[in-house]
Amino acid sequence: MKNTAATLMAQKQSGEKITMLTAYDYTTARIEDECGVNSILVGDSLGMVMLGYENTLPVTMEDMIHHTAAVSRGAENAFVVADMPFMSYQTGVRDAVINAGRLVKEGGANAVKLEGGAEVCEQIRAIVDASIPVVAHLGLTPQSVNAFGGYKVQGKTLDKAQKLINDALKIQDAGACAVVLECVPAKLADIITKKLTIPTIGIGAGAGCDGQVLVYQDMLGLNTGHTAKFVKIFAEAGALMREGFKAYIEETQAGTFPAAEHTYKIDDDVIEKLK
Q: Which residues bind ligand KIV (CB under 6 A)?
A: 22, 41, 43-45, 83, 137, 180, 182, 203, 213, 215
Contacts of 152 (CB under 8 A, 6+ apart): 140, 183
State how far the alpha carbon of 75 is from the alpha carbons of 42, 61, 170, in Å. 11, 20, 31
Strand partners, 79: 39
Q: How far is the CB of 112 from ligand KIV (least distance, A)?
A: 12
Q: Looking at beta carbons only, is 83 or 190 nearer to ligand KIV?
A: 83
Nearer Cβ to ligand KIV (1/206): 206
34 among known catalytic residues: no
Please report how close the Cβ of residue 215 comes to ligand KIV at its closest, in angstroms.
5
Helices (H) and strands (E) in the chain, counts: 12, 8
Q: Any alpha helices (H) in the chain, and if so which ranges?
A: 5-14, 26-35, 46-49, 61-74, 93-105, 121-129, 145-148, 158-174, 186-195, 216-219, 237-254, 268-274
Least distance to ligand KIV, CB of residue 180, Å: 5
Catalytic residue among 16, 115, 182, 236: 182
Residue 226 vs 265, nearer CB to ligand KIV: 226
Distance CA 104, CA 67 (A): 12
Output phi, psi for 200, to 5 deg: -100, 135
Q: Which is nearer to ligand KIV, 59 or 104 (CB)?
A: 59
Task: Please say which residue, 41 or 184, places its beta carbon nearer to ligand KIV.
Answer: 41
Minimum gap (Å) between residue 48 Cβ and ligand KIV: 9
Return the ∠ at Cα 99 (arms to 133 and 93), rounded to 5°.
Answer: 80
149 — alpha (psi -120 to 50), left (phi > 0) or beta? left
Q: Enumerate the active-site residues.
A: 182
